[in-house]
């Protein structure tokens, strides 16, 4: 990280994979795991695009760690699907 000396640790396993550039986690037993994320991907024309997403209510009623793991896994799969779709799409198409 520019301007910061030393190593910065992060336990959010999605960060740095699937082009994820930022995320905010949350979890509780009643709510389950939640994750808001940002990622990047290129469209069919090679233009970089910002992808934003949120997953909620993952494994509600279980241990918060289970909910968080499920939110990370679901988000990873969702990011990969969006990246694949985006790579076949040009701006203005659906």
Domain residue ranges of the chain, discontinuous segments joined by +: 20-86
The whole-number pLDDT of residue 40 equals 94
Burial class (CB in 10 A: 0-12, 13-18, 19+), 45: exposed
pLDDT of residue 1: 64
Q: Bigger pLDDT: 16 or 53?
A: 53
Pairwise CA distance, residues 26 & 41, whole Å: 25
More confident residue, 15 or 69: 69
Question: Mean pLDDT throughout 17-45?
Answer: 92
Percent pLDDT > 70 in the chain is 96
pTM, two decimal places: 0.82
């Amino acid at each position: 990280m520019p301007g910061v000396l030393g190593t910065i640790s992060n336990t959010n396993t999605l960060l740095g994979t699937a082009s994820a550039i930022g995320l905010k986690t949350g979890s509780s037993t009643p709510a389950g795991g939640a994750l808001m994320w940002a990622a990047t991907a290129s469209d069919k024309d090679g233009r970089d695009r910002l992808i934003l997403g949120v997953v909620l209510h993952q494994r509600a009623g279980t241990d918060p760690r289970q909910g968080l793991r499920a939110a990370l896994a679901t988000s990873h799969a969702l990011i990969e699907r969006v990246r694949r779709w985006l790579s076949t799409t040009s701006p203005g198409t659906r």
